[in-house]
């Protein structure tokens, strides 16, 4: 295939591009391919004020240009020439010099047909100079002056691009992906004269944004993993085209892909694209409604693991066009792959946030782009991930979606008689074992099925809860789980989830919940041809007796698979499992309302299955699973569904005490958990079978409770019996543990007998202790030196003197610990043995005499310490260990002493020479 420009380009330019294209088959095209480096912060020329990029560039002077990018390998109009993507660019004038900016891309098939935005704006050259003057939407008016380029990329076969639309297929996505490739220098692009153009003004970072088809293209491009697409902002966008046109095997329409392709194709190209549309109708699988290769190519969730762009999604909870399932499954897949993300869920239909929360939207989008494209740390990723609207302008921010603490709750679908209201409750009611739905010859409307829920109506089965005593919220995807048989080989099955309460609400129609006003507000700069002022809107409201929360349908033949060729009819009269997802939603059922499930066969809005089927429902085992915020506990607390069928006992764990003791104090902690909520956690204390103390903590419906109690009791052995009771009356196993309490400290006595103890009244040269505790001695420490004992009632510490078992001269501290942790402390003094006239002493022996320690210099017997030149030296020292001068002590050269508060150093051997004589043996320090 060869490259060519679209017919809108001057013929001369087209001829020139064909020549260049042919040359590329022979030699490399002389185009410099640039790979910009993504900036971590905005260019210094772009001012940042209050954490946001501020206007600095003149919008009227902005560079406006159109670039054509060949889409290699794609020829969807089958003319033998490579399709070309046209993009209209508006960027700050300063980018002609050194300024580098990121790009905001709106990929769309609507620019020259349906138009963009609430006012259906189209790309237009209003002054006839060949340059686009009107860029749809506010993006260019607001962001270009703040240092962004805005690009309107026209999908294959639309706008000024060549080719033909293929319903979001691989070629359509490639036609938008090449915009990112061109911006990052990986493919070539040309101006209208065929001259190669590079995006040397680009930072390497880009965003894609758009509502509906536009956001769908953003999803598709992100799923390719293309490098340089930093973030996408899909608004009410499709992630899987099969589920847009079908629901669980049932078509919503006929030949829709070709119909939509015709709508977005310029009228002058529709004849050219007719063969492509014929092909679409041939391969879209309308005959079965099943999932085939055509739809597999258009399922962007298949390659969500390739997504590297962050995602800021907006999706209307009430969008019956691009339904919530397009968002919810994609969102879950993004979460599973840790894609950075944020979401707004307004209570509206197919509406751009610019048209329902304009000021907050512009500010939030601005900060999102500043963070992801300019690298400005503005805290937006630290804000709550999810914003859900619960009433007009009543927005709640949460950490995630579905809401935190959401759990599925199974509710039984049962009743007493077919055609009359049945029960939606935890347990099936006593009544009929089966219930029947008799399908009619047509597809009844949603209104006719939901109205007057307590009236008899054979073509439906209404299951109603009791009125709610308090609000109950669901957040996520309800799941229908029917056990049923059919009277014929095939039937459609349908389900509605209804809030039966009269209230003023924002309706789904008309206008998807809004109406356009005449007042305009302005967002950005403008020119005479491109206004920045847009019509404001207001919420519609109306009173209704009920609200359809969710709906879902299933082709019975697709009960096991939607894949082409896998559908199988049922055997009439045989029971099967029919399980299917309904549309995701987030809704608060207010106190006083009733929750209803309406089951039927064919439903208006979906292609009908075989008419007239009778569905026989197992009224004992059939159920619906609702994603309830707070789970079974919240559902039970709402009072709408009776007592949970669950008979699972609460679970308890004894956290404290961890041993049987003995313990000084009794610290009890019992942790309990229960799925539906706890009523109480109890721990009772018994002695010899008699209750002596009862403790408990109320559960108040919490699913986890920690019961703690500190109990003072006399020493002895006790039994702790503990359990928990849940809100449904289920009782946990009662468990028991035995503990011994001991709050009495050990006793310590000094042993008598000269062989054990020498000294008295707390001063000893040798001392021994007898230790006793009824709860057993554990260990002791002597001056911080620990000794582990053998956990016995009696123990000993013998022959303590300085230098043994941690004993030291002077004051000593003995701490004795029992097993329970009680302690006894004894303080005593250790001295040398007293001098004895009958004892023979050798050099180095020490004695205690007249309140001092004496050191034997040589052999001594019968010579009392104190003689100036006798065998004994008086040993004294300061608190820091420095020797104190005494007349009997011998000092040698270098010894340091203290005398009368002054320190001296010995110059030679000396004894009985008082420091202070300058001519003596002592040198004063300092």
Following DSSP, what letter does each residue of 703-753 receive, concatenated? SEEEEEEEE---SEEEEEEEEEEETTS-BPPPEEEEEEE--PPPEEEEPPS
- How far apart are the C-alpha atoms of 870 and 858, rounded to whole Å? 9
Which of 319, 352, 726, 778 is the catalytic position? 319
Closest CA to 796 of 819, 808, 780, 812: 780
CA torsion sign for 169, 170, 174, 175 is negative
Q: Which of 207, 186, 166, 169 shows the shortest CA–CA distance to 69?
A: 186
Q: Which residues contact 88 (CB under 8 A, 6 or more apart)?
A: 64, 65, 66, 111, 123, 132, 135, 151, 152, 154, 160
The C-alpha atoms of residue 48 and residue 223 are separated, in whole angstroms, by 32
97 is catalytic: no
Rama region for 776: left / alpha / beta (φ>0; ψ in -120 to 50; rest): left
For 228-360, list the strands marked E by DSSP.
229-235, 246-247, 250-251, 310-314, 341-345
Among 240, 268, 219, CA closest to 77: 268
CA dihedral 528, 533, 535, 537 (to 10 degrees): 170
Distance CA 817, CA 488 (A): 84
Runs of H (alpha helix) within 110-193: 139-143, 170-183
Residue tagged active-site, from 202, 350, 707, 817: 350
DSSP state, residue 418:
T
Residue found under tokens 């053998």: 790
319 catalytic, yes or no?
Answer: yes
320 noted as active-site residue: no
Helix axes 274-283, 256-264, angle to 10 degrees: 160
Which of 108, 175, 206, 212 is the catalytic position?
A: 212
What is the distance, to the nearest Å, from the Cα of residue 472 to the centroid of all Cα atoms in its chain? 23
Instruction: Give the pair of three-digit tokens for residue 136.
Output: 């749809």
Angle (CA) 570 616 434, round 5°: 140
Q: What residues pair up with 106 in beta bridges, in sequence order?
A: 152
Residue 235 pairs in a beta bridge with 211, 314
**CB burial readout 691-708, b (16+ within 10 A) else e:** eebebbbebebbbebebe
Q: Which residues are catalytic?
A: 212, 319, 350
């Amino acid at each position: 295939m060869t490259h060519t420009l679209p017919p809108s380009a001057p013929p001369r330019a087209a001829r020139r591009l064909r020549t260049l294209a042919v040359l590329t088959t022979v030699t490399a095209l002389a185009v410099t391919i640039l790979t910009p480096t993504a900036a971590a912060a905005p260019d210094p020329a772009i001012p940042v004020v209050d954490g946001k990029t501020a206007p600095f560039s003149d919008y009227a002077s902005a560079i406006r240009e159109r670039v054509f990018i060949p889409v290699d390998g794609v020829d969807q109009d089958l003319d033998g020439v490579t399709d070309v993507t046209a993009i209209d660019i508006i960027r700050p004038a300063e980018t002609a010099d050194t300024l580098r900016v990121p790009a905001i891309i709106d990929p769309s098939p609507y620019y020259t047909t349906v138009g963009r935005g609430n006012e259906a704006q189209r790309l237009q050259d209003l002054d006839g100079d060949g340059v686009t003057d009107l860029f749809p939407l506010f993006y260019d008016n607001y962001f270009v002056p703040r240092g962004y380029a805005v690009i309107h990329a026209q999908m294959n076969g639309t706008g000024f691009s060549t080719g033909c639309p293929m319903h979001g297929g691989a070629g359509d996505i490639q036609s938008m992906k090449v915009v990112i490739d061109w911006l990052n220098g990986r493919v070539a692009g040309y101006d209208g004269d065929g001259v190669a153009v590079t995006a040397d003004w680009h930072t390497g970072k880009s965003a894609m944004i758009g509502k509906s088809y536009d956001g769908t293209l953003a999803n598709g491009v992100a799923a390719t993993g293309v490098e340089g697409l930093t973030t996408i902002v899909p608004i009410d966008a499709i992630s899987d085209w099969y589920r847009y046109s079908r629901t669980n095997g049932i078509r919503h329409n006929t030949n829709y892909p070709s119909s939509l392709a015709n709508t977005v194709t310029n009228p002058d190209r529709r004849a050219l694209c007719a063969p492509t549309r014929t092909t679409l109708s041939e391969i879209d699988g309308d005959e079965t409604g099943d999932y085939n290769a055509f739809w597999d190519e258009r399922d962007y969730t298949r390659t969500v693991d390739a997504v590297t762009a962050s995602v800021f999604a907006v999706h209307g909870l009430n969008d019956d066009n691009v339904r919530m399932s397009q968002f919810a499954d994609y969102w879950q897949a993004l979460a599973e792959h840790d894609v950075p993300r944020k979401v707004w869920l307004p209570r509206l239909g197919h509406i751009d946030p610019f048209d329902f929360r304009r000021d907050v939207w512009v500010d939030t989008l601005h900060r999102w782009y500043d963070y992801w494209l300019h690298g400005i740390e503005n805290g937006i990723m630290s804000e709550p991930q999810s914003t859900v609207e619960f009433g007009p302008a009543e927005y709640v921010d949460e950490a995630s979606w579905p809401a935190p603490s959401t759990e599925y709750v199974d509710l039984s679908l049962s009743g007493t008689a077919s055609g009359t209201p049945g029960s939606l409750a935890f347990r099936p009611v006593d009544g009929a074992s089966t219930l029947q739905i008799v399908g009619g010859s047509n597809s009844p409307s949603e209104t006719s099925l939901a109205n007057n829920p307590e009236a008899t109506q054979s073509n439906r089965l209404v299951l109603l809860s009791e009125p709610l005593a308090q609000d109950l919220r669901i957040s996520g995807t309800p799941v229908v789980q029917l056990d049923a048989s059919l009277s014929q080989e095939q039937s459609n099955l349908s389900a509605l989830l209804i809030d039966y309460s009269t209230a003023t609400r924002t309706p789904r129609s008309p206008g998807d919940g809004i109406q356009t006003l005449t007042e305009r507000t302005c967002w950005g700069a403008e020119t005479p041809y491109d206004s920045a002022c847009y019509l404001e809107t207001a919420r519609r409201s109306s009173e209704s007796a009920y609200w359809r929360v969710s709906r879902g349908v299933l082709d019975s033949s697709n009960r096991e698979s939607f894949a082409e060729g896998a559908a199988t009819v049922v055997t009439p009269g045989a029971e099967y499992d029919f399980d299917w997802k309904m549309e995701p939603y987030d809704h608060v059922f207010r106190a006083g309302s009733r929750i209803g499930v309406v089951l039927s066969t064919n439903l208006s809005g979906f292609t009908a299955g075989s008419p007239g089927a009778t569905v026989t429902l197992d009224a004992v085992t059939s159920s619906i699973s609702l994603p309830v915020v707070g789970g079974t506990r919240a559902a039970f607390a709402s009072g709408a569904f009776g007592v949970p069928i669950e008979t699972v006992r609460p679970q308890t764990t004894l956290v404290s005490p961890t041993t049987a003791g003995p313990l000084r104090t009794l610290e009890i902690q019992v942790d309990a958990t229960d799925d539906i909520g706890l009523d109480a956690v109890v721990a009772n204390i018994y002695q010899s079978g008699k209750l002596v103390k009862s403790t408990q903590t109320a559960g108040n419906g919490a699913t986890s409770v920690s019961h703690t109690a500190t109990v003072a009791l006399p020493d002895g052995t006790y039994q702790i019996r503990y359990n928990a009771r849940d809100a449904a009356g289920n009782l946990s196993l009662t468990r028991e543990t035995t503990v011994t309490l001991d709050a009495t400290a050990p006793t310590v006595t000094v042993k008598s007998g000269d062989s054990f103890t020498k000294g008295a009244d707390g001063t000893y040269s040798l001392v021994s202790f007898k230790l006793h505790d009824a709860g057993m001695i554990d260990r002791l420490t002597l001056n911080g030196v620990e000794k582990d004992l053998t956990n016995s009632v009696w123990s000993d510490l013998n022959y303590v003197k300085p230098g043994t078992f941690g004993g030291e001269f002077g004051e000593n501290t003995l701490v004795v610990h029992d097993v329970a942790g009680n302690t006894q402390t004894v303080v005593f003094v250790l001295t040398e043995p007293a001098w004895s006239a009958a004892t023979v002493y050798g050099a180095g022996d020490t004695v205690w005499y007249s309140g001092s320690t004496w050191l034997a210099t040589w052999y001594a017997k019968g010579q009392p310490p104190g003689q100036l030149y006798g065998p004994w030296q008086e040993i004294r020292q300061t608190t820091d260990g420095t020797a104190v001068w005494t007349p009997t002590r011998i000092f040698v050269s270098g010894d340091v002493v203290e005398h009368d508060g002054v320190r001296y150093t010995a110059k030679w051997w000396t004894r009985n020479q008082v420091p202070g004589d300058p001519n003596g043996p002592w040198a004063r320090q300092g």
